[in-house]
Amino acid sequence: MIHKFGFALAALTVGATALAQTKWDLPTAYPPTNFHTENISQFASDVDKATGGKLKITVHSNASLFKAPEIKRAVQGGQAQMGEILLVNFQNEWQVFGTDGIPFLADSYDAAWKLYQAQKPVLSRKLAEQGIMLLYTVAWPPQGIFVNKTISSAADLKGIKWRAYSPATARIGELVGAQPVTVQQAELSQAMATGVIESYMSSGSTGYDTKTYEYIKNFYDTQAWLPKNAVLVNKKAFDALDKPTQDALVKAGDEAEKRGWELSKKKNLEYLELLKKNGMTIHVPSAQLKADMKKVGDTMIKEWTEKAGPDGQAVLDAYKKM
């Protein structure tokens, strides 16, 4: 008798908890100590607190649940309720995703923020058509050149094994006459260790996360562009939440965006210091290298504008007015 009662009570408790709690997965492609990931973890814990534990978001870092290029489709198909993507990775699908990967179009935090404001309406509309809600974005620190020798012009990059993380970084490699190979950050350390990669463009953040200083000793601080990570939500999963939970999610997302951009700016300088401390030389690019990279940027904006059509033009026009 007592036994039976105890069982019924336990079943009832489990049932009530299951009803009250929603569990979501949030795959990301970067390590747990990366500032984007730390920011997302803070976001997940903010949502947990604000909803009294009703919405539990598990962050799966380091491409452990889905590889970087698969995360967007996972969110679209609902295999993951949320996910973090690098927008420029999806430029071949739609050129506007790659707006923030064009060298020297927006090469400071202020300019990158403005470009984001210009991009946001079209970006949100496109993602909404795919059943995805854009929750927030955060910029990576400015992109420079990591290379295993000293260089004074782009010609010095000829023939070098060049790691790309996006269509645009592969195109840069081609334009400087290097040999591009696409490697996502989760596999970058290994690619350097095995000599598959001698050079790449990215941020001090990625240089530090991947221990690039163990393989490559030079960083040229070209500050060429600031690509953004975007945190996405499956719209159906969002619609299934009650209104207070939806509001808590959006509010925590707004706060994460603000916190993330500030963190990126602050940590950029820290990362460059850490690279130096670990034996890397941070170079100011020569006038020739700057001019060469600027020329690459000019070619790429031209190519992009031709492919991006009216959506792209709308973003550029809005950006120029800001």
Interface residue list for ligand PCA (CB under 6 A): 86, 140, 165, 185, 202-203, 205-206, 227
Closest approach of ligand PCA to the CB of residue 43, in Å:
19
Closest CA to 246 of 260, 230, 233: 233
| Residue nearest ligand PCA by beta-carbon distance | 203
The Cα 201–Cα 78 span in angstroms is 33
**Helix pair angle (243-277, 109-129), 10° resolution:** 140
- Rounded to a whole number of angstroms, the minimum distance from the CB of residue 206 to ligand PCA is 4
Beta carbon of residue 35, minimum distance to ligand PCA (angstroms, whole number) = 10
Residue 288 CB burial class (10 angstroms; 0-12, 13-18, ≥19) = middle
Residue closer to ligand PCA by CB (options 169, 245) is 169
CB of 231 to ligand PCA, least distance (A): 15
Decide whether 81 or 98 has the Cβ nearer to ligand PCA: 98
- Report the residue number, 193 or 240, with the smaller CB distance to ligand PCA: 193
Residue 52 one-letter amino acid: G
Pick between residue 24 and residue 35 the one whose CB is nearest to ligand PCA. 35
Which residue has 């919405």 as its token pair? Answer: 55
**CB-wise, 39 or 205, nearer to ligand PCA?**
205
Between CA 34 and CA 208 the distance in angstroms is 9
Find the shortest distance in angstroms from Cβ 259 to ligand PCA: 18
Beta strand residue intervals within 20-112, DSSP E: 22-27, 55-60, 82-86
